[in-house]
């Protein structure tokens, strides 16, 4: 029997990257609590695979077989405004089919992630260069339900190639 997946809220940073959204009342300027819906707008050329419920995965290689590495995106649950990104591997041992790493990312995963970020770009081995890969989302509040007032948000992954390879995912808003 497959094991239940750990709630990404209990995994913690840096293994689970959390983003929280809020809506601002334009008449008062104060934020208010409402659940949000999040949709992938542009996956930076990557394939997005729904895996049920509020989760989708993005394969880091051309393989989607057991043992392949993925980014897992946990969209907000009903009555929530928290979005998570976790680092996962496909396995039959987890309830949703993907095990979320909770302590340490294997070197093979890091290598696949760097290659995914690089996305086939050629680099000069004598020059250090930082390359980003961005996934863009559209977010809007469910209570206000004004899709025309949706905002764009980006999750940006970066890797440095050249002198020393550094993995440093960062999150920032799309402009």
Residue found by looking up tokens 């961005």 in the block = 134
Helix (H, G, I), strand (E, B) or coil at 120: coil
Q: What is the pLDDT of residue 108?
A: 92
Band of pLDDT at residue 42, cut at 50, 70 and 90: confident
Q: Three-state DSSP class for 8?
A: helix
pTM of the entire structure? 0.85
Mean pLDDT over each residue of the chain, to the nearest integer: 83
Residue 21 CB burial class (10 angstroms; 0-12, 13-18, ≥19): buried
- Using pLDDT thresholds of 50, 70 and 90, give the confidence band for residue 163: low
Model confidence at 68: pLDDT above 90: yes
Q: Which of 58-62, 91-95, 105-109, 128-132 has the lowest mean pLDDT?
A: 128-132
The more confidently predicted of residues 124 and 3 is: 3
User: Over the stretch 104-139, which tens digit does the pLDDT of each residue have?
Assistant: 889 899 889 988 988 877 777 677 888 888 888 888
Q: Quick one: residue 146, left, alpha or beta (phi over 0 = left, psi -120 to 50 = alpha)?
A: beta
Calculate mean pLDDT across residues 46-52: 91
At 49, is the pLDDT very low, low, confident or very high (cuts 50, 70, 90)?
Answer: very high
Q: Residue 56 — very low, low, confident or very high, per pLDDT cuts 50/70/90? A: very high
């Amino acid at each position: 029997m497959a094991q239940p997946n750990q709630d990404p809220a209990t995994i913690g940073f840096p293994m689970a990257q959390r983003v929280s959204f809020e809506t601002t009342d334009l008449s008062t300027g104060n934020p208010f609590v409402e659940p949000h819906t999040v949709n992938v707008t542009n996956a930076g050329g990557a394939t997005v695979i729904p895996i049920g419920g509020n989760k989708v995965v993005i394969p880091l290689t051309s393989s989607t077989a057991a043992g392949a590495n993925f980014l897992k995106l946990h969209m907000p649950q009903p009555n929530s405004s928290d979005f998570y990104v976790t680092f996962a591997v496909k396995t039959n041992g987890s309830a949703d089919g993907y095990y979320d790493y909770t302590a340490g990312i294997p070197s093979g995963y890091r290598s696949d992630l760097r290659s995914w970020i690089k996305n086939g770009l050629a680099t000069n081995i004598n020059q250090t260069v930082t390359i980003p890969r961005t996934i863009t989302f559209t977010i809007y509040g469910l209570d206000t339900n004004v899709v025309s007032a949706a905002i764009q948000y980006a999750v940006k992954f970066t890797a440095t190639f050249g002198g020393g390879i550094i993995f440093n995912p960062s999150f920032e808003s799309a402009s």
